[in-house]
Amino acid sequence: MEAYGELVNRYRHRVYALALGMVRNEQDATDLSQETFVKGWQAIRGFKKNASFYTWLYRITTNLCIDHVRRRDRRPTVEFEEAMDPDADADVEIPPSNQPLPTDEVRRRELREFIEAALEKLSPEHRLVVQLREFDGLDYAAIAKAVGCSMGTVMSRLHYARKHLQKLLQKVL
Amino acid sequence: MKQHNTERLSALADGELKGLSRWLAQRHVRHCPQCAAELQRVERVRQTLAACPPIIEMSDSADFFWSKVKRDITTREPQTVFIPVPRLSLADWLLVHRGALATATSGLMVALLTGVMLQQPHSAGPGTVLVERVDTVIPNTVATPLKGAESDVAVIWVSGLEWTADLDEMKQRFENSET
């Protein structure tokens, strides 16, 4: 089991980053990362050595995250918020700031928040492919394996996600 | 890319198009302002996202996180879960490995062609046959093969005779010269 501990230590940040990108909540992302590694342990015997362990872990993480997001989005409060949002595709508002932007760091932080808000408006499937491509740098084949779809679907989802992001990020592009 | 296939522009921006499809897409973009503008927009989105990657570090320390995972593993009912190893579909697998497949197919074709060529019998060059025995009744004559392969040698030129391609006539001339 200690050898598995080494793997957990090696991949925990990447798994956590993917989970956080999907669920946008630190506690949920930590819990999902933990659940990923527990499931990984339970299924490790079925894992073949010639496959990529990382892609396999990503598959577990993405399945858990998408389930989590769908469950969360079914909650009434979220539905109410969605229903009250008359124009969900409208530009994301830049978080208001009383002070002028003093440094590049603050500007970057605001831009990051702006981007995160835009990403949150994407569907879980679209957010996932953007996350895997733009932040993890996976190629289409690896994304297709991690998500469990064809490369054509990856290309299509990325395209529509970017089209959506073009609208949402209009103010900063 | 004859039509405005904007999905392929994303793939082009990501460097996922290879070979002919990349060349066709690039060629289309050079001649289509609409797609060139779309490609620029895709690039801008990519650059904006790349400029602000999320800063993510798990707040749990490595030991603490592993202790939580280990606790969960040991406290839960021991069970084996089957999670399939992620694989590409056959079509995607062929697409990804098309370069290697093309190389292997070309190699196989070359090997087959070489094999076929090696199977064919050699044809000897003209004047290279070894004539083991020449029967002639004319003393002090020199026999020279006139055709390439030994099996093809039908006429032996006997020096002193005027050449003709007709074997019967040649025989006749030979008999005449004897008399």
Q: What is the 3-state secondary structure (H, E, C) of chain B?
A: CCCCCHHHHHHHHCCCCCHHHHHHHHHHHHHCHHHHHHHHHHHHHHHHHHHCCCCCCCCCCHHHHHHHHHHHHHHCCCCCCCCCCCCCCHHHHHHHCHHHHHHHHHHHHHHHHHHHHHHCCCCCCCCCCCCCCCCCCCCCCCEEECCCCHHHCCCEEECCCCCCCCHHHHHHHHHHHHC
% pLDDT > 90, chain B: 26
Across the interface, whether the CB atoms of A155 and B10 are under 8 A apart is answered yes
The shortest C-alpha distance from B99 to chain A (Å) reads 15
Residue A81 pLDDT grade (very low, low, confident, very high; cuts 50, 70, 90): very low
Joined tokens for residue B19: 């070979």
CATH assignment at residue A147: 1.10.10.10
pTM above 0.80, yes or no: no
Name the pLDDT band for B122 (thresholds 50, 70, 90).
low
Q: Domain residues for A111?
A: 87-173
Q: Quick one: tokens of B131?
A: 């004539």
Supply the pLDDT for residue A84.
40
Chain B residue numbers touching A116 (CB-CB < 8 A) = 54
Q: Which of A84, A105, A136 is the last residue of a domain?
A: A84
What is the per-residue pLDDT for A80? Answer: 38
Residues 103-162 of A with CB under 8 A from B: 108, 111-112, 115-116, 130, 133-135, 139-141, 144-146, 148, 150-152, 155-156, 158-159, 162
**Record: contact B54-A21, CB cut-off 8 A:** yes
A60 contacts in B (CB within 8 Å)?
83
What single letter denotes the amino acid at residue B44? R
Binned at pLDDT 50, 70 and 90, residue A91 comes out as low
| Tens-digit pLDDT profile for residues B86-103 | 777 888 888 788 888 889
| Count of structural domains within chain B | 2
For B68, the closest chain A residue by CA position comes to A34
Q: Which domain holds residue B154?
A: 143-178
Q: Is A90 on the interface with B (CB under 8 A)?
A: no
Q: Are residues A109 and A156 in the same domain?
A: yes
Amino acid at B101: L
Looking at residue A99, its pLDDT comes to: 53
Can you state the angle between helices A26-43 and B62-75, rounded to 10 degrees? 50
Q: Does B82 touch chain A (CB under 8 A)?
A: yes
Please give the residue that has the higher pLDDT: either B104 or B79: B104
Per-residue pLDDT, averaged over A57-82, amounts to 75
Phi, psi of A148 (to 5 degrees): 85, 40
Is B61 inside a domain boundary?
A: no
Domain end position, chosen among A19, A51, A84: A84
- Other C-beta atoms closer than 10 Å to the C-beta of A172 total 17
| pLDDT bucket at A172, cuts 50 / 70 / 90 | confident
Residue B81: closest CA among A31, A30, A59: A59
CATH no. for residue A70?
A: 1.10.1740.10
How many structural domains compose chain A?
2
- Both tokens assigned to A126: 């679209």
Q: What integer is the mean pLDDT of A54-68?
A: 89
User: Chain A closest CA to B80's CA: distance in Å?
Assistant: 5
Q: Exposed, middle or buried: residue A68 (CB in 10 Å: 0-12, 13-18, 19+)?
A: buried
Reference A67, options A118, A117, A32, A119; nearest CA is A32
Q: Does some domain include residue B174?
A: yes
Per the model's pLDDT, the better-predicted residue between A44 and B86 turns out to be A44
Residues A63 and A5 in one domain: yes
Q: Cα–Cα distance between B10 and B18 in angstroms, integer?
A: 13
What six digits make up the tokens of A31? Answer: 């819990």
- Mean pLDDT of all residues in chain A? 81
